[in-house]
Amino acid sequence: MNTKKNTAGLRGVSAGETSISTVGKESLGLSYRGYDIAELAERSTFEEVTWLLFEGRLPNAAELAAFKSELYALRELPSALRQALELIPAGTHPMDVLRTGCSMLGTLEPEQDFTAQRQVANRLIAAFPSMLLYWHHFVTDGRRIGTQSGAGSTAAHFLHLLRGDAPSELHERAMDVSLILYAEHEFNASTFAARVCAATLSDMYSAVGAAIGTLRGPLHGGANEAAMALIERFESPEAATQAVEAMLARKEKIMGFGHAVYRESDPRNAVIKAWSKKLSASYGDDLLFRVSEAIAEQMWRAKRLFPNLDFFSASAYHFIGIPTPLFTPIFVCSRIAGWAAHIMEQRADNRLIRPAADYTGPEPRAHVAIGDRQ
Ligand code: COA
């Protein structure tokens, strides 16, 4: 057995303990603090799930109401942050805007010590949609929007800031479910990056900044935008099937398929696929849904590869009216819950993360004076 190949990218290697979630574990599947993801997506809200990730148990009604009011009160941005956002060029990818916004907020409201970690986490949850959409409107239509929408939930708040009015119940709930599905995923690349940074006893803003930079790549969070770019190219499911067949023959990767841990299916896919279908009906044109289904069928037929959460999220977001460049930033607005929970867990029982490496360089050799070198 080639152990080196099998453990490349640390696949299958346990890099620590967590009580926050399980990914693909026997009899647990994907669960947050022991609750199955499908049940949370059906019966909970994003705020409830965030509280669960932080506290280890579901909140009661009073605790949830208090948590929601706390987030509600943290949505306004300091004027220096608004000014900084206005200086970011219009062509910037919104993930870079959030990375910069996170860093700037860290200079204005630094985490003085770890006793303030929950306040910093809450501040980032409340402020990310505000930062993103303040900048989005400023560069697209020159407007300086207010960032207190008055909406009770993060999902409705996001859509309200984006569109300027309250979303329908259908859109709010679809967005809320998507935030639940994206909130946490054990030791994925961005969460691990956050933990590595947190383990040096750095501050929460730095750890979250590291996570945003890691999530940005197309092999991680960026896959939902790449999936959208693919599905919108086709005029029919048949054309999509043929094109994907040709792409696979050229050994191209199809973004939104496959997973580093799951082998048979991504448990989040069934949930988001059902929402995409429901949203396509209200959108009045289900072409993108049918194209997505055709691609998924072809990927399974040809490669036994299944859609991950990112694939049907693309069409779902499109049906809600969200511009494609905002897809990965929404992942940030949700995964901040998981990142913060992991940063706090790391700090609670910390040891610097410093793995070893297998050396593949030259044998020891003598230094040669510059004049004697070839
Ligand atoms: N499209 C086409 N082929 C794919 C593929 C995809 N999306 N995902 C994996 N494969 C193929 C690889 O080319 C490789 O084939 P080979 O053995 O012939 O070289 C094989 O399946 C194993 O893939 P590999 O990339 O080594 O697996 P991994 O565990 O390292 O990768 C991902 C996991 C997620 C990085 C990978 O599936 C991928 O790049 N997917 C697309 C990006 C994506 O959707 N990311 C979001 C993840 S939630």
Ligand 1 centroid from CA 259, angstroms = 7
What is the band of 208 on the pLDDT scale with cuts at 50, 70, 90?
Answer: very high
Cα 236 from chain centroid (whole Å): 30
Select from 6, 257, 304 the residue to mutate for testing ligand 1; criterion: most ligand atoms less than 8 Å from CB.
Answer: 257
Share of the chain above pLDDT 70, in %: 99
Pocket of ligand 1 (CB under 6 A): 9, 219-220, 223, 253-260, 303, 305, 308, 310
Ligand 1 centroid from CA 254, angstroms = 8
Ligand 1 centroid from CA 201, angstroms = 34
Question: Which residues does 354 contact at the CB level (< 8 Å), separation at least 6?
Answer: none
Q: CATH second-level architecture of 223-320? A: Orthogonal Bundle (1.10)
pLDDT digits (tens, 9 = 90+) for 8-30: 999 989 999 999 999 999 889 99
CATH topology for the 19-217+325-348 domain: Citrate Synthase; domain 1 (1.10.580)
| 264 exposure class (CB count in 10 Å sphere: 0-12, 13-18, 19+) | exposed
Q: What pLDDT score was predicted for residue 5?
A: 61
Atom nearest to 227 CA in ligand 1: 44
Collapsed DSSP state (helix, strand, coil) of residue 113: coil
Residue type, 123: R
pLDDT digits (tens, 9 = 90+) for 244-268: 999 999 999 999 999 999 999 999 9
Distance CA 143, CA 289 (A): 33
Average pLDDT over residues 343-362: 97
Distance CA 253, CA 203 (A): 36
Average pLDDT over residues 42-63: 98
Q: What pLDDT score was predicted for residue 4?
A: 59
Whether 86 shows a pLDDT value over 80: the answer reads: yes
Question: Which residues does 151 contact at the CB level (< 8 Å), separation at least 6?
Answer: 157, 159, 160, 166
pLDDT digits (tens, 9 = 90+) for 312-327: 999 999 999 999 999 9
Q: What pLDDT score was predicted for residue 27?
A: 86
Distance CA 374, CA 368 (A): 10
Instruction: Tell the residue nearest (CA) to atom 32 of ligand 1.
Output: 259
Average pLDDT over residues 62-89: 98
Ligand 1 centroid from CA 253, angstroms = 7
Query: CB of 299 within 8 A of CB of 12?
Result: no
Query: CB of 226 within 8 A of CB of 218?
Result: yes
Instruction: Tell the residue nearest (CA) to atom 28 of ligand 1.
Output: 260
Rg (CA), the chain: 22
pLDDT, mean over the chain: 96
220 is catalytic: yes
Question: Which residues does 205 contact at the CB level (< 8 Å), separation at least 6?
Answer: 102, 103, 105, 106, 110, 111, 120, 124
Ligand 1 centroid from CA 130, angstroms = 34
Q: What per-residue string of b and e applies to 145-173 under the rule 16 or more CB within 10 Å gives b?
A: bebbbebbbbbbbbbbbbeeeebeeebbb
Query: CB of 133 within 8 A of CB of 144?
Result: no
Query: CB of 67 within 8 A of CB of 54?
Result: no
259 is catalytic: yes
Average pLDDT over residues 115-121: 98
Concatenating the DSSP letter of every residue in 305-359 gives --B-HHHHHHHHHHHHT--GGGHHHHHHHHHHHHHHHHHHHHHHT----------
Select from 4, 192, 219 the residue to mutate for testing ligand 1; criterion: most ligand atoms less than 8 Å from CB.
Answer: 219
Give backbone dihedrals phi and psi of 156, rounded to 5 degrees, phi first.
Answer: -65, -35
Between residues 67 and 222, which one has the greater pLDDT?
67
- What pTM, to 2 d.p., does this model score? 0.96
pLDDT digits (tens, 9 = 90+) for 144-201: 999 999 999 999 999 999 999 999 999 999 999 999 999 999 999 999 999 999 999 9
pLDDT digits (tens, 9 = 90+) for 258-305: 999 999 999 999 999 999 999 999 999 999 999 999 999 999 999 999
Whether 3 shows a pLDDT value over 80: the answer reads: no
Domain-by-domain residue ranges, the chain?
A: 19-217+325-348, 223-320
Catalytic residue among 136, 310, 318, 342: 310
What is the band of 218 on the pLDDT scale with cuts at 50, 70, 90?
Answer: confident
Beta sheet of 21-25, edge-to-edge order: 21-25, 29-32, 35-36
Give backbone dihedrals phi and psi of 14, rounded to 5 degrees, phi first.
Answer: -80, 125
171 is catalytic: no
Q: What pLDDT score was predicted for residue 1?
A: 45
Query: CB of 325 within 8 A of CB of 225?
Result: yes
Instruction: Tell the residue nearest (CA) to atom 35 of ligand 1.
Output: 219
CA angle at residue 314 from 87 to 45, to 5 degrees?
A: 85
Catalytic residue among 36, 93, 96, 220: 220
Average pLDDT over residues 109-115: 97
